[in-house]
Amino acid sequence: MKMAVYHGIRDLRVEEVREPQAGKREAKIKVKYCGICGSDLHEYLHGLFPKSPFGHEACGEIVEPGPELQGFGVKDRVLAFSKDGYAEYMVCPQEEMIKIPEGMSWKRAAVLEPLAVAAYCIKRVGVKPTDRVLIAGAGPIGLMLLMGLKATGVETVYMTEIVEKRREKATELGATEVFNPLEVRISSKMRELTEGNGVDVAMEAVGVEESLKDCLSSLKYRGTVIVGGIFTDRVKLHMLGFVSRETTMIGINSHDPGLALEWVTKKDLALEAIVTRIIPLEQISTEGFEALTAKKGDEIKILVEP
Ligand SMILES: [Zn+2]
């Protein structure tokens, strides 16, 4: 079968490899799509890092259950978030997959995993519908946070994003207002919009110093900032404001697929709106990772179809 094999930084090769075999409590899955995650892109550019499985946004159909697989069977459509999803077939342990509801399109299912990250974030902070929230970054995770907050009943969600196409997408998906942080001073803007208090919760979904600073400086007294961006560079923070305003800062690297699935089924969230392209496996480097790296910013979520 064909599989994209990670050889090192910017060296991903589609190779002919042996089909994997399902272990005891695993399933062998014929992959329909595997989404390119921001963390995968980071690993492509900077090297692998712990707790970040490469190719974890896969969905497909079970073709062969392991001998002790429980709760799943042949032909089940599943979301598989283990690893090695950039291949015709993958194996996945039973605790790292969930069933896709009948009638849900593959395209929607393919972006359930990023929504599950947003679900975990929102639950972790316990965002209330009356909270005013700032999301820095309108990439896949930022947009999923937006949809998740909307599903939770949060009315006021401000966003920042430097790429115009992404700002447009955020507006289309219901953001209250979207700002270009290169043109607007975000902390002043947030204060202006919140009677001088600052937002209740800020979510960092970019992974750069400037957006983390925007989040911290836009918060109210005793506000919470969630950090989900993948940072390549070190960040210099002025800690006095952090201390004097008793800020809570939480890092996020988990997901809640059950809650994401509940939202999607109950609220009929059009998650697939973030998918901008579907490419064949053979083009994963050129049209996938390199295209996302080129910073044209026009692509949001790319799905790979083996
Ligand atoms: Zn992901």
Please compute the mean of the pLDDT values over residues 135-145 and round it to a whole number: 97
Residue 109 lies in a domain: no
Same domain flag for 118 and 246: yes
Q: Which two tokens stand for residue 154?
A: 């949060």
Same domain flag for 130 and 238: yes
Residue 226 lies in a domain: yes
- With contact defined as beta carbons under 8 Å apart, do 155 and 176 qualify? yes
Global pTM reads: 0.94
Looking at residue 178, its pLDDT comes to 98
Q: How far is the CA of 19 from the centre of ligand 1 (A)?
A: 24
What element of type H or E holds 189?
Answer: helix 186-193
What does the alpha-carbon distance between residue 278 and residue 117 come to, in Å, rounded to a whole number?
Answer: 22
What does the alpha-carbon distance between residue 249 and residue 143 come to, in Å, rounded to a whole number?
Answer: 21
Q: How far is the CA of 64 from the centre of ligand 1 (A)?
A: 25
Inter-axis angle of helices 140-151 and 164-172, nearest 10: 20
Looking at residue 296, its pLDDT comes to 66
Same domain flag for 80 and 184: no
Most distant CA atoms of the chain, gap in Å:
61
Please compute the mean of the pLDDT values over residues 131-159 and round it to a whole number: 97
Q: Which tens digit of pLDDT belongs to each residue from 182-235?
A: 999 999 999 999 999 999 999 999 999 999 999 999 999 999 999 999 999 999
Same domain flag for 227 and 137: yes
User: What is the percent of the chain where pLDDT is above 70?
Assistant: 99
What element of type H or E holds 142?
Answer: helix 140-151
- How many structural domains is the chain composed of? 2
Same domain flag for 212 and 244: yes
Same domain flag for 95 and 122: no
3-state secondary structure of 63: strand
Please compute the mean of the pLDDT values over residues 144-152 and round it to a whole number: 97
Residue 106 lies in a domain: no
Q: How far is the CA of 243 from the centre of ligand 1 (A)?
A: 32
What does the alpha-carbon distance between residue 273 and residue 35 come to, in Å, rounded to a whole number?
Answer: 14
Residue 133 lies in a domain: yes
Q: How far is the CA of 87 from the centre of ligand 1 (A)?
A: 16
- With contact defined as beta carbons under 8 Å apart, do 118 and 142 qualify? no
Q: Which tens digit of pLDDT belongs to each residue from 86-112?
A: 999 999 999 999 999 999 999 999 999
Residue 6 scores a pLDDT above 70 = yes
Sign of the CA dihedral 173, 177, 181, 186?
A: negative
- Residues flanking ion ligand 1, Cβ below 5 Å: 37, 57
Q: How far is the CA of 264 from the centre of ligand 1 (A)?
A: 17
- Which domain does 174 fall in, by range? 114-251
Please compute the mean of the pLDDT values over residues 39-63 and round it to a whole number: 94
